[in-house]
Amino acid sequence: MTEYDNITLTTPEDGILVATLDRPDKYNALTIDMFPSMTALWQDVARDRSIRAVILTGAGKGFCSGLDLEDAAKLMTYSANEYVTLQEGFGATAAAMRRCTTPIIAAVNGPAAGAGLSLALAADIRIASTAAKFNAAFIRIGLTGGDVGSSYLLPRIVGMGVATEILLTGRFVLPDEALRIGLVTSIVEPADLMEAALATGRSIAANTPLGIRLTKQAISTNIDASSIEAALELESRNQTLAVTNADMGEALAAFIGKRAPRYTDS
């Protein structure tokens, strides 16, 4: 794949891509220039049908500390028109993650603050190490608590009341609370984090490529479905596509035969 700004890509196993934010000396703080690069990454992942799951993590001790403070200090120099364009670029990254039909697992190895929290929220599954912590840091530096999709995503993950309190205070959420409120699905020791994420990736990648893509699409779309009928309509359409795909027969045969499937779809 293409090279991306301060993001290292590895493929530890077939079908699983690991994307590592790689500014460990800055707790993987994001520069303004990294946002279009991240957006391009998720768009490229969506087009690469050989990738069935992505693990997003951070190098060193941090997951992502949000916007680099050196760049944050420049924000007040922008005109309103310039800043709107900048904000649209920030938001495009979260939107690209949600539109990407490849499941994204956030392996949160340390602090996830500000835009780092938003990246974790835009993932489909969040696994945290005991060293992780989360906060919406925007409001602590004079901005609003909602940015890069956090005011949309967080209430849908933890509920309106809890999300409101987190976004208005900017306080840190530690791993035990994150698990209790549903922000993460599991907590593991730092040394076990990548293996836990890989295990989840393997479980996903073992399913049919089409089934994976359509399941993420259904979840992303139906969270905002106008009615149960609308949700059922999309599910019916997706199941029809799946049942007419050659890989369903292979999946069923493999399940009955208690063997690993050999999918042909990509």
- pLDDT for 258 beyond 60: yes
Reported as a single tens digit per residue, the pLDDT across 168-214 is 999 999 999 999 999 999 999 999 999 999 999 999 999 999 999 99
pLDDT confidence band for 261 (50 / 70 / 90):
confident
- pLDDT for 127 beyond 80: yes
- pLDDT for 266 beyond 60: no
Contacts of 10 (CB under 8 A, 6+ apart): 17, 18, 20
Residues 228 and 7: their CA atoms lie apart, in Å, by: 40
pLDDT confidence band for 1 (50 / 70 / 90):
low
Residue-level pLDDT at 128? 99
| Total residue count of the chain as it appears in this document | 266
- pLDDT for 40 beyond 90: yes
Domains of the chain with bracketed CATH: 7-204 (3.90.226.10), 207-257 (no CATH)
pLDDT confidence band for 36 (50 / 70 / 90):
very high
Residue-level pLDDT at 231? 94
- pLDDT for 105 beyond 90: yes
DSSP string, 91-111: HHHHHHHHH-SS-EEEEE-SE
Residue-level pLDDT at 69? 81
Residue-level pLDDT at 7? 97
Residue-level pLDDT at 265? 67
The residue with greater pLDDT, 32 or 260, is 32
Percent of the chain with pLDDT over 90: 77
pLDDT confidence band for 88 (50 / 70 / 90):
very high
Residues 151 and 98: their CA atoms lie apart, in Å, by: 14
Name residue, tokens 């073992």. 206
Average pLDDT over residues 234-260: 86
Reported as a single tens digit per residue, the pLDDT across 244-256 is 888 888 788 888 8
Residue-level pLDDT at 95? 97
Instruction: Name the pairing type of β-strands 133-135 and 111-113.
Output: parallel
